[in-house]
Amino acid sequence: MTAICSLDQLIQDLKDQPSRKVAVAAGHDPNTIQAAARAAAEDIAEVTLVGDGARIRSLCTEFGLDDGVFGIVDNPDEFAAGKAAVQMIRAGEADVLMKGLIGTDKYMKLILNKEQGLLPKGNVLSHITVLELPTYQQSHNKLLIVADVAIIPEPDLPTKVQILNYCIKAAHSFGIKNPKAALITATEKVNPKMTACVDAALISMMAQRGQITGAIVDGPLALDVALSPEACKIKGLQSPVAGDADILVFPNIEAGNVFYKGSTILSGGRLAAAVVGTTVPCVLTSRADSEESKFLSIALGCRLAG
């Protein structure tokens, strides 16, 4: 498989694969409906909208969409709709769960439910974002897989290892056979007073000794030396990642979230995002996210479900 270097390439690749089935919890908001219709039209997913059937059909009429392109399960209550969508996953009727017009707290509660949820015992729930950044595309012709920017506030060392492994698995699904993973901190020097630096150094050593496989791992690395060969040259840094990262693992949610939002708001980046660690990928977008972001996140969910 040729490595996928852009989100448009991801869409094109998915068109050549069997369509995955997506269940949308409370799928009665305009952007979700438009994203679902686009996913169906481009033949990358078979989508079932669980939500307010009358509103779904009304919005389809408003936007000139054929409501026959996806399944509709009428359930106007958002929590009940979410519960029904999760049950579709558990029954094997869908491969990807997606958040529609349901509050994140309710969506996560359903996923984390110990009896009827989607998180296997022992797994860490995390969040992966795939970013297409214009400058990085121009200089490196590749995507960036980053985590965690949305769920885990302050991951400890074992949690960072799980997050890294999720990112490696995602990179492999994109055809990146031996991705370069950077453990991001404020400095590339091992500072024993900075927990993030110590964790990064330990994880890097774990990878060197075969406890983490499938990727080239280095850290601690500041963001500049993770992404810029010129920065490595200027600083005289020798690193197996050497300014060519495919994966960025952040030390905490503040660092990840600021990078993620800065990349999209200030740099014009495109993104796809999903919750991982669950039995199936769970698309978690904001209710205010654009149709394109939701569409691309459906695509990511379908790829990770592959």
- Mean pLDDT of all residues in 160-179: 97
CA distance 83 to 217: 39
E-state strands within 222-289 = 247-249, 270-276, 282-283
Range of the domain at 75: 7-122+278-305
How many domains in the chain?
2
* 140 lies in the same domain as 213: yes
* 111 lies in the same domain as 143: no
Across-strand partners of 272?
130
CA distance 92 to 60: 27
* 258 lies in the same domain as 132: yes
* 144 lies in the same domain as 247: yes
Each residue of 201-226: pLDDT tens digit? 999 999 999 999 999 999 999 999 99
* 13 lies in the same domain as 101: yes
Tell me, what's the pLDDT at 86? 97
Contact predicate 101/28, CB 8 Å: yes
Tell me, what's the pLDDT at 107? 94
Q: Residue 141: pLDDT band by 50, 70, 90 thresholds?
A: very high
For the chain, count helices (H), then strands (E). 12, 11
Kind plus residue range of the DSSP H or E element containing 189: none
Tell me, what's the pLDDT at 22? 97
* 149 lies in the same domain as 193: yes
Any domain includes 26: yes
* 79 lies in the same domain as 116: yes
CA distance 28 to 49: 7
- Gyration radius (Cα) of the chain, Å: 20
* 150 lies in the same domain as 63: no
Tell me, what's the pLDDT at 306? 75
Contact predicate 260/133, CB 8 Å: no
CB atoms within 10 A of CB 184: 25
CA distance 262 to 266: 5
With a cut of 90, say whether residue 291 has pLDDT above it: no
Any domain includes 1: no
Q: Residue 287: pLDDT band by 50, 70, 90 thresholds?
A: low
Each residue of 15-64: pLDDT tens digit? 988 999 999 999 998 999 999 999 999 999 999 999 999 999 999 999 99
* 89 lies in the same domain as 137: no
**What CATH number should be reported for the domain holding residue 107?**
3.40.50.10950
With a cut of 80, say whether residue 289 has pLDDT above it: no
Tell me, what's the pLDDT at 285? 79
Please state, rounded to an integer, the average pLDDT across all residues of the chain. Answer: 95
* 151 lies in the same domain as 230: yes
List the one residue out of 99, 92, 96, 95 whose CA is nearest residue 51. 99
- Mean pLDDT of all residues in 249-256: 96
Tell me, what's the pLDDT at 288? 65
